[in-house]
Amino acid sequence: MTYLYTSAGPKSIGTRLRQLSEQLTGAAHDLYTTYGVNIEPKWWPIFYCLSENNWNQVGELAEKIGYSHVAVSRTVKEMAKAGLVRTRASASDGRVTEVSLTVKGRDLIHTIQPQYEDISAAISQLDAETGTSLWSALAAWEDALHKRSFTGRVRDQRHLRRSAGIDIVDYTPKYREAFKTLNTEWIDGFFVMEQHDYEMLDGAESYILGRGGHIFMALLDGEAVGTCALQKLHQSPYDFELTKMGVTPKVQGRSIGYRLSLAIIEKARELGGKTLYLESNTKLEPAIRMYRQLGFQELDFTSSPYARANIQMVLEL
Partner DNA sequence: TAATTTTATGTAACCAGTTACATAAAATTC
Partner DNA sequence: GAATTTTATGTAACTGGTTACATAAAATTA
Smallest gap from Cβ 121 to its own copies, in A, equals 4
Q: Which stretch binds its own copies (CB under 8 A): 5-13, 190-198, 201-209, 295-303?
A: 5-13
Interface residues for DNA in 214-253 (CB under 7 A)?
none
What value, to the nearest 5°, has the Cα angle with vertex 121 and ends 117 and 127?
Answer: 150
What gap in Å lies between CA 269 and CA 267, rounded to an integer? Answer: 5
Q: Which stretch binds DNA (CB under 7 A): 2-10, 52-60, 127-135, 187-195?
A: 52-60
Interface pick for DNA out of 28, 35, 42, 275 (rule CB under 7 A): 42
Q: For residue 244, which of 258, 225, 231, 259 has the smallest C-alpha distance?
A: 231
CB-based burial label for 246 (10 Å; 0-12, 13-18, 19+) = buried
What does the per-residue mask of binding to its own copies show for 35-54, with x meaning CB under 8 A? x-----x---x--xx--x--
Residue 307 binding result from its own copies, DNA, none, given CB thresholds of 5 to 8 Å by partner type = none
Interface pick for its own copies out of 149, 236, 282, 310 (rule CB under 8 A): 149
Our finding on whether 58 is near DNA (CB under 7 A) is yes
Residue number, 1 or 91, with CB nearest to its own copies? 1
Our finding on whether 98 is near DNA (CB under 7 A) is yes
Interface pick for DNA out of 40, 127, 156, 194 (rule CB under 7 A): 40
Smallest gap from Cβ 189 to its own copies, in A, equals 26
Total residues binding its own copies (CB under 8 A): 78
Our finding on whether 96 is near DNA (CB under 7 A) is yes
Q: φ, ψ for residue 114 (rounded to 5)? A: -60, -35
Our finding on whether 9 is near its own copies (CB under 8 A) is yes
Residue 8 binding result from its own copies, DNA, none, given CB thresholds of 5 to 8 Å by partner type = its own copies
Residue 131 binding result from DNA, its own copies, none, given CB thresholds of 5 to 8 Å by partner type = its own copies
Smallest gap from Cβ 68 to its own copies, in A, equals 11
Interface residues for its own copies in 99-138 (CB under 8 A)?
114-123, 125-126, 129-138
- Give the interface with DNA as residue ranges (CB under 7 A): 15, 18, 40-42, 57-60, 66-71, 73-76, 87, 90, 92-98
